[in-house]
């Protein structure tokens, strides 16, 4: 599945499992957090990604 800040692009490009996240220069990064908090936050992002991978879908879906 795809993790990106640019969801309109992702759908147009044909991605099917899309998780909007982060900012363009750091899709799975959050420099406003401390390193420990950022790691915990990143794990939560991956958990959402796992849900997207495990989801049964018929067409392009934007997860959250």
Partner 1 sequence: MITVVHYINQFFAGIGGEEKAGAPFEIRDGPVGPGRALQMILDDQALITHTLVCGDNQFHDNRDDVLDQLRQAIGDLKPDLLVAGPAFNAGRYGLACGAVCVLARDTFDVPAITGLFPESPGAEVFHDRVVIVPTGSSAAEMKTALDDIGRIGLKLAHGQPLGPAEEEGILPQGFRGNWVEAPMPAERAVAMLVSKLRSTPVPTEIPLPAAGETVPPAVEVPRLANATLALVTEGGLVPEGNPDGIESSSATRWACYPLADLEKDGGARFKSIHAGYDARWVNQDPNRLVPLDAARALVAAGEIGEVHDQFYVTVGTGTSVTNASRIGAEIAAQLINEGVHAAIVTST
Partner 2 sequence: MLGLPYRLELQTHQVDGVQLGDETRLDGHVLWVNENEVQGLVLQDPRIIRAGLAVARPGESVRIVHCLDVVEPRRKLEGPGVVFPGFLGGPETVGQGVTARLSGVGVMTSSRFPQPFSGLLAAREAIVDMSGSTAVYSPFSQITNLVLTLAPQPDLDNADYDDAVRRAALRVANHIAGTAMDRQPEQVDVYDFSDVDPSLPKVAYFYQAQGQGSMADTYLYGRTIENLVPTLIHPAEIMDGALVSGVYVYACFKNPTWMHQNNPVIRALRDRHGKDINFAGVILNRGHNYTQMEKERSSYWATKLAGFMGVDGVVLSAEGGGNSAIDLMLACQYMEKAGIKTTVLSYESPGADGRDFPLFFSVPEADSIVSVGSDEEQISFPAVERVIGDDRLLDDETPSIGPFNIRMHYLFSALSQVGGNQLAGRAF
Closer residue to partner 2 in complex, CB, 23/39: 23
Q: Does 50 bind partner 1 (CB under 8 A)?
A: yes
Which residue from 8, 37, 58, 62 is in contact with partner 1, where contact means CB under 8 A? Answer: 58
- Please give the C-alpha separations between residue 24 and each of 20, 49, 51, in angstroms, as whole numbers: 10, 18, 22
Which residues 5-44 are close enough to bind partner 2 by CB under 8 A?
5-9, 12, 20, 22-25
Q: Does 55 bind partner 1 (CB under 8 A)?
A: yes
> And the tokens for 7?
């969801």
Helix ranges (H only) for the chain are 7-13, 35-54
């Amino acid at each position: 599945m795809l993790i990106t800040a640019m969801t309109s692009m992702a759908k147009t490009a044909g991605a099917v499992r899309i998780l909007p996240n982060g900012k363009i220069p750091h899709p799975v990064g959050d420099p406003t957090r401390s390193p420990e908090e950022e790691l915990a936050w990143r794990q939560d992002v991956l958990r959402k990604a796992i849900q997207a991978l495990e989801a049964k879908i018929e067409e392009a879906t934007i997860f959250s």
